[in-house]
Structure 1
Amino acid sequence: MSIDMASFTPGWSLTGGLVIGAAAAVLVLFNGRIAGISGILGGLLGKPRNDAGWRIAFLAGLVGAPVLASLLGQSIAPDIQAGWGEILIAGLLVGAGTRYASGCTSGHGVCGISRGSVRSLVATATFMASGFLTVFVTRHLLGG
Protein backbone atom coordinates (compact mmCIF):
# COMPACT_ATOMS: atom_id res chain seq x y z
CA MET A 1 0.00 0.00 0.00
CA SER A 2 1.23 3.48 -0.80
CA ILE A 3 0.00 6.89 0.19
CA ASP A 4 -0.47 9.54 -2.48
CA MET A 5 1.47 12.23 -0.64
CA ALA A 6 0.19 14.96 -2.98
CA SER A 7 -3.35 14.19 -1.82
CA PHE A 8 -2.40 13.53 1.82
CA THR A 9 -3.57 16.66 3.62
CA PRO A 10 -3.75 16.02 7.36
CA GLY A 11 -3.97 19.73 8.21
CA TRP A 12 -6.95 20.35 5.94
CA SER A 13 -8.52 17.07 7.06
CA LEU A 14 -8.20 18.02 10.73
CA THR A 15 -9.59 21.49 10.04
CA GLY A 16 -12.53 20.01 8.13
CA GLY A 17 -13.24 17.56 10.94
CA LEU A 18 -13.17 20.33 13.53
CA VAL A 19 -15.54 22.48 11.46
CA ILE A 20 -17.94 19.54 10.97
CA GLY A 21 -17.85 18.79 14.71
CA ALA A 22 -18.42 22.43 15.59
CA ALA A 23 -21.34 22.68 13.16
CA ALA A 24 -22.92 19.55 14.62
CA ALA A 25 -22.45 20.87 18.16
CA VAL A 26 -23.93 24.28 17.32
CA LEU A 27 -26.94 22.70 15.63
CA VAL A 28 -27.72 20.43 18.56
CA LEU A 29 -27.02 23.07 21.24
CA PHE A 30 -28.95 25.93 19.67
CA ASN A 31 -31.58 24.09 17.65
CA GLY A 32 -31.89 20.73 19.41
CA ARG A 33 -31.41 18.97 16.05
CA ILE A 34 -29.02 16.26 14.91
CA ALA A 35 -26.82 17.10 11.90
CA GLY A 36 -27.85 14.07 9.88
CA ILE A 37 -27.97 15.09 6.25
CA SER A 38 -30.54 12.50 5.20
CA GLY A 39 -32.89 13.66 7.96
CA ILE A 40 -32.35 17.33 7.15
CA LEU A 41 -33.05 16.78 3.45
CA GLY A 42 -35.89 14.34 4.19
CA GLY A 43 -37.56 16.99 6.34
CA LEU A 44 -37.79 19.23 3.28
CA LEU A 45 -39.17 16.52 1.01
CA GLY A 46 -42.06 15.44 3.22
CA LYS A 47 -45.17 17.31 4.20
CA PRO A 48 -44.72 21.07 4.70
CA ARG A 49 -43.17 22.00 8.05
CA ASN A 50 -42.40 25.22 9.81
CA ASP A 51 -38.68 24.45 10.16
CA ALA A 52 -37.66 24.65 6.50
CA GLY A 53 -35.48 27.75 7.01
CA TRP A 54 -32.67 26.16 9.00
CA ARG A 55 -32.79 23.04 6.81
CA ILE A 56 -32.35 25.10 3.64
CA ALA A 57 -29.56 27.15 5.25
CA PHE A 58 -27.73 24.00 6.35
CA LEU A 59 -27.97 22.40 2.90
CA ALA A 60 -26.95 25.68 1.24
CA GLY A 61 -23.83 25.65 3.41
CA LEU A 62 -23.02 22.11 2.27
CA VAL A 63 -23.21 23.21 -1.35
CA GLY A 64 -21.75 26.69 -0.83
CA ALA A 65 -18.61 25.68 1.08
CA PRO A 66 -17.02 23.73 -1.80
CA VAL A 67 -18.02 26.47 -4.23
CA LEU A 68 -16.31 29.04 -1.98
CA ALA A 69 -13.23 26.81 -1.62
CA SER A 70 -13.05 26.50 -5.40
CA LEU A 71 -13.27 30.29 -5.79
CA LEU A 72 -10.40 30.60 -3.29
CA GLY A 73 -8.24 28.34 -5.44
CA GLN A 74 -8.62 25.04 -3.61
CA SER A 75 -8.84 21.95 -5.80
CA ILE A 76 -12.05 20.23 -4.77
CA ALA A 77 -12.88 18.03 -7.73
CA PRO A 78 -12.40 14.36 -6.83
CA ASP A 79 -11.13 11.89 -9.40
CA ILE A 80 -14.17 9.62 -9.71
CA GLN A 81 -13.46 6.61 -11.88
CA ALA A 82 -17.06 5.67 -12.58
CA GLY A 83 -19.70 6.44 -15.16
CA TRP A 84 -22.99 8.23 -14.53
CA GLY A 85 -24.88 4.93 -14.39
CA GLU A 86 -22.62 3.62 -11.62
CA ILE A 87 -22.89 6.88 -9.72
CA LEU A 88 -26.70 6.84 -10.00
CA ILE A 89 -26.93 3.24 -8.75
CA ALA A 90 -24.50 3.99 -5.91
CA GLY A 91 -26.55 7.04 -4.90
CA LEU A 92 -29.78 5.06 -4.86
CA LEU A 93 -28.15 2.33 -2.75
CA VAL A 94 -26.85 4.92 -0.29
CA GLY A 95 -30.32 6.47 -0.11
CA ALA A 96 -31.92 3.07 0.57
CA GLY A 97 -29.24 2.31 3.16
CA THR A 98 -29.93 5.52 5.07
CA ARG A 99 -33.61 4.57 5.26
CA TYR A 100 -32.84 1.07 6.57
CA ALA A 101 -30.25 2.40 9.04
CA SER A 102 -32.56 5.21 10.22
CA GLY A 103 -29.88 7.74 9.38
CA CYS A 104 -26.77 8.47 7.41
CA THR A 105 -23.06 8.49 8.11
CA SER A 106 -23.17 12.06 9.38
CA GLY A 107 -26.09 11.44 11.72
CA HIS A 108 -24.75 8.16 13.10
CA GLY A 109 -21.01 8.68 12.69
CA VAL A 110 -20.63 12.28 13.82
CA CYS A 111 -23.60 12.83 16.11
CA GLY A 112 -24.67 9.37 17.26
CA ILE A 113 -21.27 8.07 18.33
CA SER A 114 -20.52 11.34 20.16
CA ARG A 115 -23.73 10.81 22.15
CA GLY A 116 -22.71 7.23 22.98
CA SER A 117 -25.43 5.58 20.90
CA VAL A 118 -24.81 1.85 20.50
CA ARG A 119 -27.13 1.80 17.47
CA SER A 120 -25.01 4.51 15.84
CA LEU A 121 -21.80 2.65 16.65
CA VAL A 122 -23.16 -0.50 14.97
CA ALA A 123 -24.49 1.48 11.98
CA THR A 124 -21.16 3.30 11.50
CA ALA A 125 -19.18 0.06 11.78
CA THR A 126 -21.51 -1.45 9.16
CA PHE A 127 -21.08 1.57 6.83
CA MET A 128 -17.31 1.35 7.14
CA ALA A 129 -17.13 -2.43 6.71
CA SER A 130 -19.36 -2.20 3.63
CA GLY A 131 -17.12 0.49 2.15
CA PHE A 132 -13.95 -1.52 2.84
CA LEU A 133 -15.50 -4.63 1.32
CA THR A 134 -16.72 -2.74 -1.76
CA VAL A 135 -13.28 -1.26 -2.41
CA PHE A 136 -11.60 -4.63 -1.90
CA VAL A 137 -13.97 -6.43 -4.24
CA THR A 138 -13.89 -3.80 -6.98
CA ARG A 139 -10.13 -3.27 -6.89
CA HIS A 140 -8.81 -6.74 -6.16
CA LEU A 141 -11.41 -9.29 -7.21
CA LEU A 142 -12.94 -7.51 -10.20
CA GLY A 143 -9.64 -6.01 -11.37
CA GLY A 144 -10.79 -2.38 -11.17
Structure 2
Amino acid sequence: MWDEIFGGLLIGLAAAVLWLGVGRISGMTGVLSSVFQFRNPDRHWSWAFLVGLMLAWPMVQLVDYPAPVSITDKPFLLVAAGLLVGFGTYVGNGCTSGHGVCGMGRLSFRSAVATVTFMLAGVITVAVMTALEVQI
Protein backbone atom coordinates (compact mmCIF):
# COMPACT_ATOMS: atom_id res chain seq x y z
CA MET A 1 0.00 0.00 0.00
CA TRP A 2 2.80 2.44 0.86
CA ASP A 3 4.51 1.84 -2.48
CA GLU A 4 1.36 2.95 -4.30
CA ILE A 5 0.92 6.01 -2.12
CA PHE A 6 4.57 6.99 -2.56
CA GLY A 7 4.33 6.41 -6.33
CA GLY A 8 1.20 8.53 -6.58
CA LEU A 9 2.85 11.32 -4.61
CA LEU A 10 5.87 11.24 -6.94
CA ILE A 11 3.63 11.40 -10.02
CA GLY A 12 1.72 14.33 -8.54
CA LEU A 13 4.95 16.08 -7.57
CA ALA A 14 6.41 15.62 -11.06
CA ALA A 15 3.21 16.94 -12.65
CA ALA A 16 3.19 19.95 -10.31
CA VAL A 17 6.88 20.74 -10.90
CA LEU A 18 6.42 20.60 -14.68
CA TRP A 19 3.26 22.72 -14.55
CA LEU A 20 4.67 25.33 -12.16
CA GLY A 21 8.19 25.32 -13.59
CA VAL A 22 7.58 25.19 -17.33
CA GLY A 23 3.83 25.68 -17.66
CA ARG A 24 3.36 22.33 -19.41
CA ILE A 25 1.07 19.40 -18.67
CA SER A 26 2.91 16.16 -17.98
CA GLY A 27 0.86 13.93 -20.24
CA MET A 28 3.12 11.63 -22.23
CA THR A 29 1.40 12.56 -25.49
CA GLY A 30 2.42 16.19 -25.02
CA VAL A 31 5.92 15.25 -23.88
CA LEU A 32 6.55 13.03 -26.90
CA SER A 33 5.05 15.48 -29.36
CA SER A 34 7.27 18.22 -27.93
CA VAL A 35 10.36 16.04 -28.42
CA PHE A 36 9.66 15.91 -32.15
CA GLN A 37 8.85 19.60 -32.66
CA PHE A 38 12.16 20.28 -34.35
CA ARG A 39 11.40 23.93 -35.12
CA ASN A 40 10.73 24.71 -31.47
CA PRO A 41 14.01 25.66 -29.76
CA ASP A 42 12.31 25.57 -26.34
CA ARG A 43 11.84 21.82 -26.12
CA HIS A 44 14.65 20.93 -23.71
CA TRP A 45 12.14 20.28 -20.96
CA SER A 46 10.59 17.42 -22.92
CA TRP A 47 13.97 15.74 -23.46
CA ALA A 48 14.77 16.07 -19.75
CA PHE A 49 11.36 14.61 -18.82
CA LEU A 50 11.76 11.72 -21.27
CA VAL A 51 15.32 10.92 -20.15
CA GLY A 52 14.19 11.00 -16.53
CA LEU A 53 11.47 8.47 -17.29
CA MET A 54 13.91 6.19 -19.09
CA LEU A 55 16.41 6.37 -16.20
CA ALA A 56 13.80 5.53 -13.56
CA TRP A 57 13.75 1.77 -14.16
CA PRO A 58 17.54 1.28 -14.12
CA MET A 59 17.69 3.33 -10.93
CA VAL A 60 15.01 1.13 -9.34
CA GLN A 61 17.00 -1.96 -10.35
CA LEU A 62 20.14 -0.53 -8.73
CA VAL A 63 18.43 -0.65 -5.33
CA ASP A 64 17.24 -4.22 -6.09
CA TYR A 65 13.54 -3.36 -5.92
CA PRO A 66 11.38 -6.19 -7.31
CA ALA A 67 9.06 -5.52 -10.23
CA PRO A 68 5.54 -5.50 -8.72
CA VAL A 69 3.80 -6.67 -11.90
CA SER A 70 4.74 -8.89 -14.80
CA ILE A 71 2.42 -8.24 -17.71
CA THR A 72 3.45 -10.59 -20.51
CA ASP A 73 6.47 -11.76 -22.42
CA LYS A 74 4.57 -12.18 -25.70
CA PRO A 75 5.81 -9.53 -28.18
CA PHE A 76 2.62 -9.68 -30.27
CA LEU A 77 0.47 -8.69 -27.28
CA LEU A 78 2.82 -5.86 -26.36
CA VAL A 79 2.74 -4.48 -29.92
CA ALA A 80 -1.05 -4.83 -30.13
CA ALA A 81 -1.48 -3.11 -26.76
CA GLY A 82 0.83 -0.28 -27.81
CA LEU A 83 -1.11 0.25 -31.04
CA LEU A 84 -4.45 0.24 -29.20
CA VAL A 85 -3.18 2.72 -26.63
CA GLY A 86 -1.79 4.92 -29.39
CA PHE A 87 -5.12 4.85 -31.24
CA GLY A 88 -7.03 5.63 -28.04
CA THR A 89 -4.67 8.50 -27.30
CA TYR A 90 -5.26 9.92 -30.76
CA VAL A 91 -9.06 9.57 -30.53
CA GLY A 92 -9.18 10.89 -26.96
CA ASN A 93 -6.86 13.82 -27.72
CA GLY A 94 -4.55 12.86 -24.88
CA CYS A 95 -3.40 10.02 -22.70
CA THR A 96 -4.21 8.68 -19.27
CA SER A 97 -1.52 10.75 -17.59
CA GLY A 98 -2.60 13.96 -19.29
CA HIS A 99 -6.32 13.48 -18.68
CA GLY A 100 -6.28 11.36 -15.51
CA VAL A 101 -3.59 13.19 -13.55
CA CYS A 102 -3.35 16.71 -14.93
CA GLY A 103 -6.79 17.21 -16.47
CA MET A 104 -8.65 15.91 -13.44
CA GLY A 105 -6.45 18.07 -11.22
CA ARG A 106 -7.52 21.12 -13.27
CA LEU A 107 -11.19 20.02 -13.05
CA SER A 108 -11.45 19.71 -16.84
CA PHE A 109 -14.81 18.29 -17.94
CA ARG A 110 -13.26 16.80 -21.09
CA SER A 111 -10.63 15.06 -18.97
CA ALA A 112 -13.29 13.76 -16.59
CA VAL A 113 -15.18 12.21 -19.53
CA ALA A 114 -11.94 10.74 -20.93
CA THR A 115 -10.92 9.33 -17.54
CA VAL A 116 -14.30 7.72 -16.93
CA THR A 117 -14.20 6.28 -20.46
CA PHE A 118 -10.78 4.66 -20.18
CA MET A 119 -11.50 3.38 -16.67
CA LEU A 120 -14.75 1.78 -17.87
CA ALA A 121 -12.95 0.30 -20.88
CA GLY A 122 -10.36 -1.23 -18.55
CA VAL A 123 -13.00 -2.68 -16.21
CA ILE A 124 -14.96 -4.14 -19.14
CA THR A 125 -11.79 -5.60 -20.68
CA VAL A 126 -10.80 -7.32 -17.43
CA ALA A 127 -14.36 -8.60 -16.90
CA VAL A 128 -14.55 -10.06 -20.42
CA MET A 129 -11.08 -11.60 -20.21
CA THR A 130 -11.92 -13.12 -16.82
CA ALA A 131 -15.23 -14.49 -18.06
CA LEU A 132 -13.54 -16.02 -21.11
CA GLU A 133 -10.62 -17.23 -18.96
CA VAL A 134 -8.10 -15.57 -21.27
CA GLN A 135 -4.49 -15.95 -20.13
CA ILE A 136 -1.92 -13.45 -21.29
What TM-score do the two structures reach when normalised by structure 2? 0.92
**1:1-144 equivalences in 2 (<5 Å):** 10-76=1-67, 78-81=69-72, 83-144=74-135
What TM-score do the two structures reach when normalised by structure 1? 0.87
Q: Is the 8 A contact 1:113 1:121 kept in 2?
A: yes
How far apart, in 2, do the equivalents of 1:47 and 1:99 lie? 21
The alignment partner of 1:91 has SS state of helix
How far apart, in 2, do the equivalents of 1:19 and 1:12 lie? 10
Q: Say how many residue pairs are matched.
A: 135
How far apart, in 2, do the equivalents of 1:21 and 1:102 lie? 21
Greater RCO, CA 8 A, separation 6+ = 2
Gaps of 5+ in 1: 1-9
2:28 is aligned with what amino acid?
A: I
Question: Which 4+ residue blocks in structure 1 deviate beyond 3 angstroms?
Answer: none
Gaps of 5+ in 2: none
